[in-house]
Each structure stands twice: as structure tokens, then as C-alpha cells.
Structure 1
């Protein structure tokens, strides 16, 4: 077919057509439908990202990519489904990295996140930040610390779950700043943010993805970003590093993982296809609108090492603050 087209149209156009015809094959790792697991319910942010990525991958591969939501057990249900399937690239999973680096420390599981799972592609990052109710009299972090010290034992900080970075950040800031905000854990950001916006809880350490729309709507005020550098999404908000707390540096990437039994050459093919899909203008714009920041592509060994480093760091935090399951 490609040869017939080359005879029928001018040479320059023919070259472009031939390249276009070759592109799907270059990024395809399969000629069968793909199952994309998601460890979260339909309709949530992770599910939105997965469906966005699935739609683009389906177009690129010329095969259906079917999203299969498997919420529960801190991602454990989806992970067990993933590792029980053949490691042939027909079953992959879209997840946030904290399912591998945070949850296993506080939720008993029958899998090893560093051996049973292979990180394949990190496509975007969500950073943690400290937010509070607009009615709080403290309008910056320094005055918030003073306010907390003036009201010892009377203020709290919310987390979206015990044993997560949302919890870790609060404990570290308490220790380093010499304050005693009481930890109030929730089952997810939604109910926690409701309490913060209502003034029942002073502050929360939350992901950019869920807090950013509320900050823009004037329903939350941001105090500091848990990062080394400022975010282009909130350039006016200082980082904890700037404020003198470099240990308060937490973020999660969202991306694709596979069974730890998957061969590296197949994982590289999937990584190339996922990275290509994530860089399309439509996907990138939608991700940024959701509050995710693009991140540089990481080769498989470096990606695996970054997961291990974050896992080990979190293990140390859990031990230091005696955070229990």
C-alpha cells in the first residue's frame, strides 16, 4: 500500500505519508487490546488521567486500551490483579507513585513494591503544599507559626490518610518549627478539605491536584509548597526550602507500572509509547489543567532507583515518628 501511495503522489508528500504510516508500528508494543488497571474509583483524578492516556494510546496503537478500575486496599487489589496477569504487556496499570512508596509502610500487603512491580513511565508530578482556611488570621507561614504557638494544643492539621506524605509533612513541620498541631487523618482529600474550608481544622498538607482549584476559587489560602523549587502553577507561593525547612519536600508522580516479571525490552517499548502519548498537546494541556506538572523522561533504571530512594526515605520517616499501621 505504501509503495502504491508513493507512485500516486509527489515525492515529498510520499515521504511524509510513509513516516506517518510507520509511526504507529514504531511505538506499538502489541497488536491486541490492552487492559489498563487503575487503583481508584471511576471519576477521580487518577481515573481521569488514565482515561486520557488510554484514549491517546488507543489511537497510537490502533488497539483498544480498556480502563479497569480496581479500587481498594491502598492499591493492593489492583496490584494483585496486575502481578497475577501474564507479564506480556497486555495488562498495565496507571497509578500514583505513593501506592508503591508510602502505602506499603502503613498498610500490610502481600506484595513487595520494589520487586513485584516494575515502574515503566512517570508522566507528570503533583506536589504537596500546605493550605488553610481563608478565615485564618495568619496570612503567611511565619505568622501561622506564631499563631500556632499562641494557641498550643488547640489547632490541628488534616491529612488525606494516615501514613502518607500528607501525614509525614505535618509531623516534620511540627518538629522543626516547634509547634504542636494535632494530626487529624481522613479517608481522602475531599472530606479533609471540607473541614479545612469550614474552619474546623486549621490547615492541611494536600496535593496540588485537589487543592489548586479551591485556591483559585478563593476557598483556600496556600502557605508553602513542599518542594525545593517554586511551582509554575503557583509561582507566588514560597517553598518550605526557602522558609528554612528543606526536609519538607514531597511529591508524587503519576504514570504506568507493570509486573516486575516484565522483560526490560518490552518495558522500554511501553515506556516509549506512553511518553509519546503523554507529550501530545491535548494530553499535556489537560494534565496541566488538572494541576500536574510535566517531568523529564527517566530511563528505566533511574526510575526504579527513584522509587527505591523514596521508599527508603519514607521508611525512615515512619520509624522516626513511630507512625503505626
Structure 2
């Protein structure tokens, strides 16, 4: 056995002592609290929002050296999670991963307990997402024309499940019914997971939600996505047509996913979160996975997203008014 010199021994010991110190310094450089970090998700485990948040938590943990926890505050189409964020301490330990389907409810539900422009503040856009209209594999439908013919033969089943009432996962289905001249009745579900289960079992004929909620299940044959809401097919599934391509140009809605913090979170903490999140979202493996889930990755500054959200809320109000929906 080779003898190790005293100098080598000291060098090895010194390096070992420095390694934890270097790790601590790296963690401190994140600018985030040296505490466990929490990501609030407003939908049940297993849905698209939850799957994405859990996937992003791991590289965040590796970058920051903090334990990153997912806290599912499911219910009320995601608004419970946002209300929880609104009331959370603005100390940088809590953020929320929120879809536009939740934010738009400020226009449709009088009881929504937050103002998206006052009670929370954006950190960064994570990406854009199309709304998907899908059918149960049990009804033997593969295209929109097939579905229209099926509806005419089954007038008692002209309903669709929605992952969030009072959001565009609700309105897109209603708008689709108007465009095909067959009224479709929304049925509320507590997120995508129970809706997918009922679609797979044939308990409901159709469903509407973000494509991130349905794409993996579409590929697995549990549901059949027959069209989406973009002006062009989503990057992750170019074979699925848009309603525009099928001759229904009024069926265009583009949603998004955003990370928010409480409104009074200090700017240095917002900037620190933005730096870490944008770095994670730029990782090739992360972009590949999110694209596969149906999210077209895109980031922003807080100011850029605030401008976008303000413009979208104004445009969405015009759409909501056009279909005659009144705040509940």
C-alpha cells in the first residue's frame, strides 16, 4: 500500500474542509432564504400543473441547496392556492405556480379572494399553453367532424368536463359548442386527474383543459385530444390540429403558466427567485420535458409579464362579454 505523505494528508483534509464551505457560499449566493422553500399548486396531485411543478422542484433543489416542497392547495379552480399565497409571509420562502385558467376567474367569479394585479406579483413567465378539447376513447371519435356527428346521434350526452369553471377551460368548450351549432353544457371537475379518469371510463364524453393536463394521457390512449386553441399546433404535438386549421378561427385562446410571490415580497427576493427559475427553465432537459408536457417554454421579467397580464385580462373580458357570461 502506498504511503501518503503528511503534506498530502493535510491537503486532502483541507480540501474536505473547504468543500462544505464552498457549498454554503454557493447556496448563499442564490439570495434566497436559507430555509425550506414551498411551491403552492392549486390542483390535485397528478394533474398537469402538479406534474410540471414537481418536475421543476428537483433542479431548483439542486441549484439552491434548499429543500423544495410542493404544497397542493386544491379546490376552487386554483384560487385557494393563490389566496394562500396572498396571505403568506413575503419572506421569499413561498411561491405559487399558477395557470391563466385561475387568474381569469377574477373576471368571472365575484367571490375570487384576490386581485392578480395587487395581491400577488409575478416572478417570471414559465411558458404558454393551448387549451385542448378531448373526447373519451369509449365513444369511437377521432376528429371534430366525427364528434359533431356523434353529438347529433347522442343528444343526451352534449356535455363536457372542465378542469376549472369560470375559466377558459370552461369557456373554450362553450365557445366550441356555439361554433359547431350544438350547445355544450359544462360539468365542473376538481382538476384534470378526476376528469381524465371519467373520460377513460366513459362516464363523460368530452373534456376541456390545458393541453398540459391531457397530452400524456392522449399519448397513452386514455383520452383523445381532437383540437386545440392555438393559431398553430403546439410544439409538443404538431399532429393535433387547431380549431383554426379546422375552419373555426374564432376558437383562439393562448394561456400561460407563471410563478408568483406575495405582493409585498422585497425586490431582491423577487430578483433572486427570477434568477433561479429562469436558469432552471433554460436547462435543455427541462425544456424538453416541459415541451413534451405541452408547455411552450418562455420566460419574462416581472414588468414584462405584468404588462402582458394586464393586456390579456382586457382581451379576455371582451371574449367573456361576447358570449354573455355574467360573473357568478
TM-score (norm 2): 0.78
| C-alpha contact 1:121 1:275 (8 A) present in aligned 2 | yes
| C-alpha contact 1:132 1:221 (8 A) present in aligned 2 | yes
Partner of 2:170: 167
Q: For 1:66-105, what aligned pairs fall within 5 Å after superposition?
A: 66-102=69-105, 105=108
Structure 2 runs not aligned, ≥5 long: 1-10, 12-21
Q: Does 1:298 align with 2:268?
A: no
- Secondary structure of 2:265's aligned partner: coil
Per-residue deviation, 1:189? 2.5
| C-alpha contact 1:74 1:107 (8 A) present in aligned 2 | no
Q: Does 1:122 align with 2:122?
A: no
Residues 87 and 296 of structure 1: CA distance in aligned 2, closer, same or farther (over 3 Å): same
Deviations 1:110-166 (A, max 9, x none): 321121111111223442211113343553223433443565565222222321212
Residues 275 and 144 of structure 1: CA distance in aligned 2, closer, same or farther (over 3 Å): same
Using the alignment, how far apart are the partners of 1:197 and 1:48 within structure 2? 19
Partner of 2:18: none
Per-residue deviation, 1:66? 3.9
Q: For this pair of structures, how many residues does the alignment match?
A: 307
Residues 103 and 158 of structure 1: CA distance in aligned 2, closer, same or farther (over 3 Å): farther
Using the alignment, how far apart are the partners of 1:209 and 1:74 within structure 2? 16
Partner of 2:142: 139
Residues 66 and 173 of structure 1: CA distance in aligned 2, closer, same or farther (over 3 Å): closer
Per-residue deviation, 1:59? 2.3
| C-alpha contact 2:30 2:272 (8 A) present in aligned 1 | yes
Using the alignment, how far apart are the partners of 2:154 and 2:67 within structure 1? 57
| C-alpha contact 1:28 1:269 (8 A) present in aligned 2 | yes
Using the alignment, how far apart are the partners of 1:97 and 1:121 within structure 2? 13
- Secondary structure of 2:195's aligned partner: helix
Partner of 1:314: 316
Partner of 1:231: 234
RMSD across aligned positions (CA): 3.3
Partner of 2:3: none
Deviations 1:15-52 (A, max 9, x none): xxxxx99x947971225225324133673343443333
Structure 1 runs not aligned, ≥5 long: 1-7, 9-19
Partner of 1:4: none
Residues 94 and 195 of structure 1: CA distance in aligned 2, closer, same or farther (over 3 Å): closer
- Select the residue among 178, 182, 185 that pairs with 2:185: 182
Per-residue deviation, 1:323? 4.7
- Secondary structure of 2:216's aligned partner: helix
Deviations 1:258-309 (A, max 9, x none): 12223445423321210101222443344344x1323222232221122223
